[in-house]
Structure 1
Amino acid sequence: MGCFSIKCGLLAGSVFGAVIAILGGILIPVGDMIIERTVKKEAVIEPGTTAYDNWASSEIAVYRQFWLFDVKNPQQVVQEGAFPEVQEKGPYTYKTRYLPKANVTFNPNNTASFVLPMGAIFEPSMSVGPEEDTVTTLNLAVAGAYSLLPPASHILLDMVINSTNSSLFQHRTVKELLWGYNDPILKDTIGLFSPYNGTSDGPYNIFTGKDDISKVSIIDRWRGETKLSFWNDTYCDMINGTDGSSFAPFVDKNVPLYFFSSDICRSVSASYEATMNLKGIEVYRYSLLPSTLASPVDNPDNKCFCRNYETTKNCTLAGALDISSCSDGRPVFISLPHFLQGSEYLREVVLGLHPDEEHHKTFLDVEPITGFTLNFAKRIQANMMYGPAKDITVLNKVKDYTLLPLAWLNETATLDDKTADMFKRELISRIDMLEIVQQVLLIAGVIIFFVCLIAFFCVRRKSKTNLG
């Protein structure tokens, strides 16, 4: 009778183990469904969600570090036609994007409208020197007028240059070159990023994801339009993806991420590079491919970004984007710092450049479950073109078109320790706990089932032996 009770107990134990294992197995899809539903709910951009709190907040510090290129041989360039030799000087750091989004409006079609106020506050403790440090740099007015005026006007331009004691190069402070100075030729304020303080980017119109979470943060309109008007081409004028600050949840590393940047007047894509650990949080690192700024010879899709056949050697140069059509006519070219991923020619005619993949590439670190960008580095370089001109004294010794780097910036932001701890506590730890419970139930159930089942057969065999 005792053996019978033991066998019943072991059978019951086996059944119990099987039930626990099944429960653990059931919890896997059920738990995944709970996680997915919760994340999708919190990823919608509307008041009360985690996504909205991150989207609306201006607490995460965004910095722009600037490195300026100091021309070491200006006299030799003008008088002998020598290649310019530059030396990087920086960083000079400014806190930007410290102002919250303005004019936020939620629309009936599940979109939200807003503008991004822009401002820059100098951070001396994060800089190599004061804003009053000087650099020898290209004369923006001379290079700009040369690029914009037809050759028939060059004699008149030469007279203006001489009458104002100007030259191809000038000495300017960091503050003047970045944010503006009164130019003697144009009689106006000019600078690489002038005007900036007190201006805004946008307005933007983005999808909130309320009706379709896959569209969350995707730009619907920029400045009231669904496409750009800079490139006169359907493909190049597309506004694709988000602004890069977040993407749809449950990111697939095999699918590129698309985002639009008003700084370069176009949309780009980034591809998965590696899985990284950011303050205990697993993130996917995405970076721009070399094809982004490749010449049309290597990437035919870029043909519509080529604006000038003469200065780009029949569109065979890679690594520089002419954005004059979206910068009020200023002949500015955008590239990666030190012409990273650009044609060798660009570095042959400008001495002192040393591209480095680690320090000069643009990347995004995206948390794959939520789609939030938790760390990023946007690195771009501003350049201007000058070339030969027989009727302009300061250019008549120049032998070929030269794209001269003026400055490059590294715009960065990363989550702080407090936000990282909150992120791990509210999301990662809960997901980990659920997975642990699932695994414990499944493993424990299987062990109990097999131990009880084996013990049952052992007891049964022993009882038969005793009866025999």
Structure 2
Amino acid sequence: MTLSPKTDVRQMWQKIPFPLDFKIYLFNYTNAEEVQKGAIPIVKEVGPYYFEEWKEKVEVEDHDDSDTITYKKLDTFYFKKELCGPGLTGEELIVLPHPFMMGTIGVVIRDKPAMLNMIGKAFNGIFDNPPDIFIRAKALDILFRGIVINCARTEFAPKALCTALKKEAANRLIFGPNNQYVFSLFGMRNGTTDSHVVTVMRGMNNVMDVGKVIAIDGKPKMEIFRDKCNEYEGTDGTVFPPFLTQSDRLESFSGDLCRSFKPWFQKESSYTGLKTNRYIANIGDYANDPDLQCYCDSPDTCPAKGMMDLVKCMGAPLYVSLPHFLDCDPKIGEAVKGLNPDVNEHEILIDFEPITGTPLVARQRVQFNIKLVKTEKIDLCKDLPDTIVPLFWIEEGLALNKTFTNMLKHQLFIPKRVVGVLRWLLVSFGLLTAMACILFHYKDNIMHFAVSNGSDSAAKIRPEETEQREISVIGEAREPPKVEM
């Protein structure tokens, strides 16, 4: 189970030989015009849009002296129209709050609120006087193909914003010819090597450390939160230590979300005949959980229950929750109509084979949300409801096929059963051998004891002392009297 270069686990860890399910559900806003005037948003889920996600670790280097590996991540997505929701092709028109516009407004309010007036003018130039804060585009354009941001403008405000974007958002935008910037939710991740260098333990010195994250970009901890929340706790999420018990709390660090998650045991389960332990996880309650409060500047600034603020992690004013605001503060869900949280459809779960620590089934589900900021300084935002609303949610799924579960059975469980049978056979053989040795060692004493007992018995009954006697039923035998004739 170590990440030694010669093990099967290392090969699978370095390049997963099958695709993960990557499903995206978009929220279509059916009353955008009313929301622009302050109404409660009404949404309809559209999806799933199905993609194959191939995961690979590149630029991999082993460090024998520290028993570690360094690598970078490379994810590649392939759209599978035939596996999407009924009738979906990716060309559907979707209406939702403009992630780029709302994200930019959120950053400016946080860092440079004096520039809000200029941002409104910049949007008018870049997006040709938009009527509202919503985007109307095809699903695949929003997800991967991209939305054009027209930076070929000479006015001061659009030009200033585009200059700032080129400097601050170079890792989130595609820069095309003629000052055309292209924005999408996942386009920059597709087929692009991640810039961060991750360092994990190989587990060759101690198998219980396998996959443990100890540094990113050479730094042993983050510098964006407070105290313990800056530490890397747990594995990289693709491998876990073996010999899991139901009392173990697993830990994995998510680089995308800049925090560790600690799933807990829920129940025993099974998958293709293999016994598994099911673990579940949630976002948590930052304000009331002492272990999570260090992610906030203070307990008073923590987000509502079930919400996670990504502004320090991603630089964008996004919030993460479980899909449909499952397990969130009820007030969050009440501010949006059309959501139906369901624990069976929206929770995070992993089924582990406990001996090897192998995840056989996994469903990682998270929803990305944004705040409809209300501000008088931008005409497009002066009447917004000032609430957190959903944009989309994703499900990253794993279910090992028979090839790999059979490999697990043949390499672990069948030999384990054989060893179990052999164990008792050897124990029985050992006991019989021990008894035979004892008998052989004490055979003279046993024979002497047997002979001695036989001689005593013979001495009690001596044939020569036994007299033969005639026995009569009436009495002793006598000669008959003579009778004279």
With the shorter chain as reference, the TM-score category is: 0.7 to 0.9
Out of 147, 151, 158, the position equivalent to 2:120 is 158
Shift of 1:68: 0.4
Task: Give the corresponding residue for 1:250.
Answer: 243
CA distance in 2, matches of 1:134, 1:444: 75
Task: Give the corresponding residue for 2:177.
Answer: none
Task: Give the corresponding residue for 2:50.
Answer: 93
SS state at 2:229 partner: coil
Of residues 137-146 and 83-92 in structure 1, the stretch that sits farther from structure 2 once superposed is 137-146
1:131 equivalent to 2:124? Answer no
Shift of 1:170: 1.5
Higher RCO (CA-CA < 8 Å; seq separation 6+):
1
Shift of 1:194: 4.1
CA distance in 1, matches of 2:400, 2:373: 44
SS state at 1:115 partner: strand
Out of 305, 308, 316, the position equivalent to 1:321 is 308
1:171 equivalent to 2:120? Answer no
CA distance in 1, matches of 2:351, 2:321: 21
Task: Give the corresponding residue for 2:213.
Answer: 219
Map of 1:8-27 to 2, 5 A cutoff? none
CA distance in 1, matches of 2:371, 2:277: 37
CA distance in 1, matches of 2:104, 2:9: 47
Map of 1:191-230 to 2, 5 A cutoff? 191-201=184-194, 202-230=196-224
1:299 equivalent to 2:263? Answer no
Shift of 1:437: 4.1
Map of 1:20-419 to 2, 5 A cutoff? 43-79=1-37, 81-98=38-55, 100-108=56-64, 109-128=66-85, 129-150=88-109, 151-163=113-125, 164-166=128-130, 167-179=132-144, 180-184=146-150, 188-201=181-194, 202-231=196-225, 233-288=226-281, 290=282, 292-296=283-287, 298-306=288-296, 314-315=301-302, 317-327=304-314, 329-399=315-385, 401-419=386-404
1:147 touches 1:386 (CA, 8 Å); kept in 2?
no
Shift of 1:208: 0.9
CA distance in 2, matches of 1:157, 1:57: 44
CA distance in 1, matches of 2:280, 2:335: 28
Shift of 1:435: 2.4
Shift of 1:64: 0.9
CA distance in 2, matches of 1:415, 1:368: 15
CA distance in 1, matches of 2:149, 2:124: 14
Deviation string, structure 1 residues 401-422 (Cα, Å, up to 9, x no partner): 3111111000011211111112
Query: Structure 1 length as normaliser, TM-score?
Result: 0.79
SS state at 2:312 partner: helix
Of residues 140-149 and 299-308 in structure 1, the stretch that sits farther from structure 2 once superposed is 299-308
Cα distance change on mapping 1:44 and 1:161 into 2, 3 Å: closer
CA distance in 1, matches of 2:89, 2:135: 19
Deviation string, structure 1 residues 229-260 (Cα, Å, up to 9, x no partner): 232x1211111111122211111220100001
1:259 touches 1:268 (CA, 8 Å); kept in 2?
yes
1:146 touches 1:386 (CA, 8 Å); kept in 2?
no
CA distance in 2, matches of 1:101, 1:427: 26
Cα distance change on mapping 1:394 and 1:445 into 2, 3 Å: same
Deviation string, structure 1 residues 124-164 (Cα, Å, up to 9, x no partner): 12112222222101112331232122454333333344452
Shift of 1:215: 0.8
SS state at 1:301 partner: coil
CA distance in 1, matches of 2:301, 2:190: 38
CA distance in 1, matches of 2:270, 2:425: 26
2:117 touches 2:378 (CA, 8 Å); kept in 1?
yes
Over the aligned positions, Cα root-mean-square deviation in angstroms equals 2.9
Task: Give the corresponding residue for 1:450.
Answer: none
Of the two, which has the highest radius of gyration? Answer: 2
Q: Which consecutive residues of structure 2, in runs of 5 or more, have no partner in the other structure?
A: 151-157, 163-179, 433-453, 462-485
CA distance in 2, matches of 1:244, 1:353: 29
CA distance in 2, matches of 1:244, 1:425: 25
State, as a whole percentage, how many aligned pairs show the same letter.
25
How many equivalent pairs are there? 403
Q: Which consecutive residues of structure 1, in runs of 5 or more, have no partner in the other structure?
A: 1-42, 448-463
1:250 touches 1:368 (CA, 8 Å); kept in 2?
yes
Shift of 1:306: 3.0
